[in-house]
Amino acid sequence: MLKNEDFIQEFVEEARDHLENFERVVLTNLAEISAEQINDAFRAVHSIKGTAGFFGLTKIVTIAHSMETILDFVNRKQIPLTDAEIDLLLEAKDRLKVLVNDVKQSETYPIDDILVKLQVAEAGFAKQDANAADPIAKPEPPDTSQLFAHFDFNPQTQEKITAFRKFGHHIYGIEMALTAQYLASCDGLDAIIDNFTSVANVILMISPAGDPLSWDDLKAEQFNNPVVLILASSILEESLLRQVLGLPASSVRVLAENKENTVAEPVLLLSNEPEANEDKLLELPLVEFNEGSESLRVNIRLLDDLMNLASELVLGRNRLLTLLEPEKKRIAELPQVLQNVDRLTSSIQEKIMLTRMQPIGTLFNRYPRLIRDLSKKLNKKLTLQIEGGEVELDKSILEGLSDPLVHLLRNAADHGIESAAIRKQNGKNEIATISLKASYQGSVVNIEVSDDGNGIDFTKIQEIARKKKLYRQNELNLMSEKELLNLLFDPGFSTADSLSEVSGRGVGMDVVRTNLEKMGGSIEITTQSGRGTSVKLMMPLTVSIIQSLVVASSAIKMVIPQADVQETIKINKESFNEKIEAINEKYFYRLRNELLAVVYLSDLWQPQQAGRAPRDHKLVVLKLGQQRFGLLVETLLGIEETLIKPLPAILKECGIYSGLTIMGDGKVAPILDIAGIARTTALVSDTNTKPQTLIDDLGRTALAGDDREDFVLFKGTGNEILALNIALIKRIDKIKKTEIQRIGDRTYISRGNMPLRVIRAEDYLALNSGLDDGEDYYVITPKLVPQPIGILATEIIENVNFEPVIEAQQFNMTGIFGAALFREKMILIINLYALLERAEPEAFTFVPSPQASGRKILLVEDSPFFQKVEQNYLESGGYQVVLAANGLEALAILDREAIDVVLTDIQMPQLDGYALLKKIRQKPAYDSIPIVALSALTGALNREKGLTSGFDRYEYKLDRESLLRALDEVIAASQRGE
Amino acid sequence: MLKVLCFKSGDNLYGIETRYVKEINRHPEITVIPLAPPMMAGIMNLRGQIVNLLDFEALIGVPTRAEKKHCIILKKEAGEIDVMAFLVEQAADVIDVDEAICEPPTPSLENEYGQTIKFIAKLEQQLLIIIDKEKLF
């Protein structure tokens, strides 16, 4: 029976706020809790009850009513709350929150359990109440609420009031305390009087004792009694009047119309029988006064829109300024106008940004509860100290901080703090302190989570890193403490001995860091043995518009957040080689005696063109946490305010961008992700940032090259881990076992009303088959095959990226290219085409072209895995294959053997594909030999580059059909003499 | 009747139903993003909105060497975060296609295009390949 959708949404939002306030109050230290605060809690619950009643939400009303009753006992009879009762109230609050969050279904939730508990508590209070022989008098209502009681509303006054009301004035009761502080803040009494008379008309002015006063009396009296009560009229709204007079909320009251004769009803006073008085409470004109009355609820979507528009406006201005720059001299008034527009735009944008700022206290206030719960669960005595709750951050950043902070607090409580017994032994306070501090530092907000626990145990980190085979002991021995701390960010790293309920939920520090970096923040850990650990988060104040440095290399513009830039250094081409020193193609710069690792920006996408032409560069020194590195760019285009747009999903895998930006000229440029660059180039020490180099069981490291491929690891019914190249997979779907139908000796599923044949790899290859007892299956649909078919898997393990190093000699199984080791597990890489051929020879066997037989193909390929793959493909196409491991070998072979087609990889050591192409084309004798490039990357961009450099064709390594077709075509073409 | 926006690629005529199309841009200013997946032609700014440009030919796996001039910007459907667009050789007219002249793709075409074809429409002068937008990404 919901009455109005819009209102109910408002109710939900309000109720959430009320519940938050409620929790804050209940968690206040009991010794310090004041009657006013209990009142706050009561009011919070009461408001929820009132509005919920209006909407007919009976379950919410019932719980709220019970909570209210308990609070009323506490408030009225001064019966203190016990710990258990606080727990109960919190539990009830949680329950209310659940109902409020799902308000439309709230009537369907069972609530009897919590009601019973609340009623038991109520009964307990009632008993205590009855036992108390001499009930304590109820506390005096706050003086201000009876403000009007002091005034004498005689007919004369009444007349004045009516007259003012006719002109639309409000009538106010004002309590003005002329304290030294108030006087000072308003520049003295004269100023106060001027101010007052300019906005309000005094009807009556009295002292608290009831003696009439005038302004002159005030001047003469020199404030023996600083409090003055004034009945005044003003056209201003209550909040405005208060602002003008600089008075607190409690000292200005609106006199409601028609109530002149019956005032003196204390509005904030809680009645003895809340139930009976409830309606009256709701009817009263001033239900609530709080600091919130000066603010306005605005839909966050509207703010987001405003912010986007403001950002656009900034860009529009930038464009305008650039465009009109040349006109400035011609039109005399233009500079002034532009300057004005410039300034106004900046302030609009700034103000709109401010609307999204929220004090971090709203977030921090959630955590006392967490610490309280943790303290019980872990059986440790914990207190939480909060500082800097007033620090403001953009709303979206605040939201993003919520989970990381929970994680860090849990870590601190679980891993950081010792048990009470040990603390005592070590002479520490049994009650451990966890502190949460926020502070500004320039345009960055620092948030620090620290504990006074035992500090991080480095030997333990080493032990775990060794156990988890992340590193070998000798490597670990060489690591500095900082590097060891960095290990904590390794995915899945957890120092707890066992997974406890509290931490170790599978979300590690790596996730925390990733989330922070996404918002432009960073994280640092410091620890002192026996003294504690501190985790510092450095977050930007706002999002969306950042100061950034626009750079370019190879004519491609990119943007670096100014906050990441430490300095820029010009490096002339004359002195380039002295200044940028190289060790094994790693570059370094001596920055004031510090060795700075340096990387070419263009190397990120065009690695190491042979023979770099000398030219001027700029070195941008970047800081990443406490580390630094340099980025060599060709040009600096200046600093711009740029608007950040989120990175499309499709660009995330590039790994070096954090977002996109629209620049002043309207063009889009990517924003460089400094942490990502450091990771992909392994510039800074950090286990996470190292590429997953393959280390096999003999400790050999796989050859670094571009031959890394993405594989999907999966399992059939047997226990082998199978791998299929991602590039060969079109899609993977989850199906139920019951969807598989058997027709004859083949199995099918239905896809888009068509039967799709599905096969098990283990039925056709020499693999183990196991029990077929699962419920779910995955169907892997390959692409680049002549006919749709599916491969059944019982489990999709993960996607991995590695360079397949193949024990080719040992593995000569049909349908398997070979075995590779990945993270110490044996993985079988499937030869898709061979598997399909075995499963359905009539559809998948490639019929060799008649002109293939006897043709010799020179296959130039450095990776043993791809050598094997290509050789297999070529032989299945009927060709003879001659192998070469690099360009030099290939040239030697061309010298002594007649070759029909050269098929070459691009990236190879010792003469790569492009260089080989050049060499072959230089010899007229080889003129008629077609040269086909093979690449691990497919697609238009690379294809274009390959073709423009003179290859006859450009083919994707794994696509057998396309490769063989291409060979057939180039052979035919060369025969025709084209 | 299907309302179909036609566009050329190589010798083929393709079509996409207009209900998927937001607009056509004939002068896209493309920013190429290094390291982007090969099918990604780049990014453009459409009145403050970031649009992901996909090379249509690379996407369906039938590349040609022709220059691609026009950009078909797709509507953002519920649940999609990014705005997508195709970079095509040349966008042509919007025509009404009678379902009666549409046929499902033949197996030979399915081999080449996978499941990305919805219909083949037998227009008088030429066959029109109507792509299945839902199956593209």
Compute the distance between CA of residue A101 and CA of residue A81 in angstroms, rounded to an integer: 28
B79 interfaces chain A, CB cutoff of 8 Å: no
| Residue A786 with chain B: CB contacts under 8 Å | 111
Question: Tell me, what's the pLDDT at A436?
Answer: 93
Do B33 and A651 count as a contact with CB atoms less than 8 A apart? yes
* Among the partner residues B35, B50, B107, nearest to A604 by beta-carbon distance: B35
Question: Tell me, what's the pLDDT at A550?
Answer: 92
Do B55 and A669 count as a contact with CB atoms less than 8 A apart? no
To the nearest whole Å, the CA of A963 is away from the closest chain B CA by 14
Task: Write down all domains in chain B, each with its CATH number in brackets.
Answer: 2-135 (2.40.50.180)
B34 interfaces chain A, CB cutoff of 8 Å: yes
Residue to test with chain B: of A650, A663, A667, A958, most B Cβ within 10 A: A650
Do A788 and B110 count as a contact with CB atoms less than 8 A apart? yes
Q: Which helix (H) or strand (E) holds A84?
A: helix A83-101
Name the least confident of A164-178, A765-779, A793-807. A793-807
Predicted confidence (pLDDT) at residue A145 exceeds the cutoff of 60: no
Which tens digits make up the pLDDT trace of A373-402?
A: 888 888 888 889 999 888 888 887 888 888
DSSP assignment, residue A703? P
Do A651 and B65 count as a contact with CB atoms less than 8 A apart? no
Question: Tell me, what's the pLDDT at A293?
Answer: 52
Q: Token pair of A104, please?
A: 């439309």
* Among the partner residues A308, A312, A938, nearest to B38 by beta-carbon distance: A938
Q: What is the mean pLDDT of residues A437-450?
A: 82
**DSSP string spanning A4-46?**
-HHHHHHHHHHHHHHHHHHHHHHTS-GGG--HHHHHHHHHHHH
DSSP assignment, residue A81? P
* Among the partner residues A604, A668, A938, nearest to B31 by beta-carbon distance: A668
Compute the distance between CA of residue A525 and CA of residue A820 in angstroms, rounded to an integer: 37
Q: What is the CATH number of domain A300-355?
A: 1.10.287
Nearest CA in chain A to B33: A670
Helices A112-131 and A58-77: angle between axes, nearest 10 degrees = 20
To the nearest whole Å, the CA of A638 is away from the closest chain B CA by 19
Which is more confident, A562 or A708?
A: A562
Q: How confident is the model at residue A943 (pLDDT cuts 50, 70, 90)?
A: low
Q: How confident is the model at residue A505 (pLDDT cuts 50, 70, 90)?
A: very low
Q: With contact defined as beta carbons under 8 Å apart, do A210 and A163 qualify?
A: no
Name the least confident of A415-419, A535-539, A898-902, B112-116. B112-116
Predicted confidence (pLDDT) at residue A978 exceeds the cutoff of 70: no
B55 interfaces chain A, CB cutoff of 8 Å: yes
B137 interfaces chain A, CB cutoff of 8 Å: no
Residue percentage of chain A with pLDDT more than 90 = 5
Mention every residue, 6+ apart, whose C-beta is less than 8 A from residue A315: A643, A662, A663, A664, A666, B48
B104 interfaces chain A, CB cutoff of 8 Å: no
Predicted confidence (pLDDT) at residue A772 exceeds the cutoff of 80: no
DSSP assignment, residue A494? -
Longest CA pairwise span in chain B (Å): 45
| Residue B107 with chain A: CB contacts under 8 Å | 787
Q: Which of A261-265, A742-746, B2-6 has the highest mean pLDDT?
A: B2-6
Superfamily classification of domain A5-131: HPT domain (1.20.120.160)
Q: What is the dihedral of CA A894, A900, A905, A909, to 10 degrees?
A: 0
Question: Tell me, what's the pLDDT at A704?
Answer: 33
Task: Return the closest-CA partner of residue A762 out of A811, A722, A799.
Answer: A722
Q: What is the mean pLDDT of residues A592-606?
A: 86
Question: Tell me, what's the pLDDT at A612?
Answer: 65
Question: Tell me, what's the pLDDT at A951?
Answer: 83
Q: How confident is the model at residue A263 (pLDDT cuts 50, 70, 90)?
A: very low
Q: How many CB atoms lie within 10 A of CB A710?
A: 15
Which tens digits make up the pLDDT trace of B48-66?
A: 778 999 999 888 878 888 8
Mention every residue, 6+ apart, whose C-beta is less than 8 A from residue A399: none
Do A939 and B50 count as a contact with CB atoms less than 8 A apart? no
Question: Tell me, what's the pLDDT at B85?
Answer: 93
Name the least confident of A498-507, A790-799, A807-816. A498-507
Which is more confident, A418 or A126?
A: A418
Residue written as token pair 């032989």: A875
Mention every residue, 6+ apart, whose C-beta is less than 8 A from residue A280: none
B63 interfaces chain A, CB cutoff of 8 Å: yes
Strands (E), A808-885: 816-822, 825-830, 856-860, 880-884
Q: With contact defined as beta carbons under 8 Å apart, do A544 and A352 qualify?
A: no
Q: How confident is the model at residue A694 (pLDDT cuts 50, 70, 90)?
A: very low
Predicted confidence (pLDDT) at residue A756 exceeds the cutoff of 60: yes
Q: Which of A589-598, A623-632, B7-16 has the highest mean pLDDT?
A: B7-16
Mention every residue, 6+ apart, whose C-beta is less than 8 A from residue B51: B43, B44, B45, B71, B73, B83, B84, B85
Residue to test with chain B: of A605, A941, A948, most B Cβ within 10 A: A941
Q: With contact defined as beta carbons under 8 Å apart, do A764 and A839 qualify?
A: yes
3-state SS, one letter per residue, for A575-595: CHHHHEEEECCEEEEEECCEE
* Secondary structure class of A738 (helix, strand, coil): helix
Q: How confident is the model at residue B79 (pLDDT cuts 50, 70, 90)?
A: low
Which tens digits make up the pLDDT trace of A49-99?
A: 877 877 778 888 888 888 888 877 777 666 677 777 788 888 888 888 888
Residue written as token pair 């053997």: A897
Which tens digits make up the pLDDT trace of A318-327?
A: 888 888 888 8
No. of H helices and E strands in chain B?
2, 11
Residue to test with chain A: of B32, B33, B64, most A Cβ within 10 A: B33
To the nearest whole Å, the CA of B93 is away from the closest chain A CA by 26
Residue to test with chain A: of B30, B31, B68, B132, most A Cβ within 10 A: B31
Task: Return the closest-CA partner of residue A142 out of A18, A243, A251, A22.
Answer: A251
Residue written as token pair 């999709």: A796
Q: What is the mean pLDDT of chain B?
A: 87
Which is more confident, A461 or A808?
A: A461
Do B55 and A648 count as a contact with CB atoms less than 8 A apart? no
To the nearest whole Å, the CA of B115 is away from the closest chain A CA by 9
Compute the distance between CA of residue A207 and CA of residue A226 in angstroms, rounded to an integer: 9
**Residue A756: φ, ψ to 5°:** -120, 125
Question: Tell me, what's the pLDDT at A46?
Answer: 80
User: Looking at the DSSP assignment, which residues form a beta bridge with residue A938?
Assistant: none
Q: Which helix (H) or strand (E) holds A523?
A: strand A522-528
Q: What is the mean pLDDT of chain A?
A: 77
Q: How confident is the model at residue A313 (pLDDT cuts 50, 70, 90)?
A: confident
Q: With contact defined as beta carbons under 8 Å apart, do A345 and A545 qualify?
A: no
**DSSP string spanning A757-816?**
EEEEHHHHTT--------SEEEEEEESSSSS--EEEESEEEEEEEEPPP--TTT---TTE
Is domain A709-843 given the CATH code 2.40.50.180 in the classification?
A: yes
Compute the distance between CA of residue A917 and CA of residue A915 in angstroms, rounded to an integer: 5
Q: Token pair of A626, please?
A: 């406490």
To the nearest whole Å, the CA of A419 is away from the closest chain B CA by 48
User: Looking at the DSSP assignment, which residues form a beta bridge with residue B100?
Assistant: none
Nearest CA in chain A to B107: A787
Compute the distance between CA of residue A153 and CA of residue A443 in angstroms, rounded to an integer: 56
Compute the distance between CA of residue A177 and CA of residue A251 in angstroms, rounded to an integer: 9
Name the least confident of A283-297, A553-567, A814-828. A283-297
The A-side interface with B (CB below 8 A) comprises 308, 311-312, 315, 556-557, 604-606, 645-646, 648-651, 653-657, 660, 662, 666-670, 730, 752, 783, 786-788, 937-943, 947
Q: What is the mean pLDDT of residues A212-229?
A: 74
Which is more confident, A262 or A322?
A: A322
Which is more confident, A733 or A292?
A: A733
Residue to test with chain B: of A668, A785, A937, most B Cβ within 10 A: A668
Q: How confident is the model at residue A703 (pLDDT cuts 50, 70, 90)?
A: very low
To the nearest whole Å, the CA of A14 is away from the closest chain B CA by 29
Do B48 and A941 count as a contact with CB atoms less than 8 A apart? no
Compute the distance between CA of residue A522 and CA of residue A538 in angstroms, rounded to an integer: 5
Q: Which fold has domain A359-457+495-540?
A: Heat Shock Protein 90 (3.30.565)
Compute the distance between CA of residue A162 and CA of residue A260 in angstroms, rounded to an integer: 10
Q: What is the mean pLDDT of residues A703-710?
A: 53
Assigned CATH class of A545-689: mainly beta
Predicted confidence (pLDDT) at residue B15 exceeds the cutoff of 90: yes
Which is more confident, A611 or A627?
A: A627
Predicted confidence (pLDDT) at residue A707 exceeds the cutoff of 70: no
Residue written as token pair 């997508």: B84
Q: In CATH, what is the architecture of A846-975?
A: 3-Layer(aba) Sandwich (3.40)
Predicted confidence (pLDDT) at residue B87 exceeds the cutoff of 80: yes
Question: Tell me, what's the pLDDT at A531?
Answer: 87
Task: Return the closest-CA partner of residue A835 out of A969, A929, A701, A728.
Answer: A728
Predicted confidence (pLDDT) at residue A279 exceeds the cutoff of 60: no
Residue A440 backbone class (left: φ over 0; alpha: ψ -120 to 50; beta: rest): beta
Q: What is the mean pLDDT of residues A455-460?
A: 86
Q: With contact defined as beta carbons under 8 Å apart, do A883 and A908 qualify?
A: no
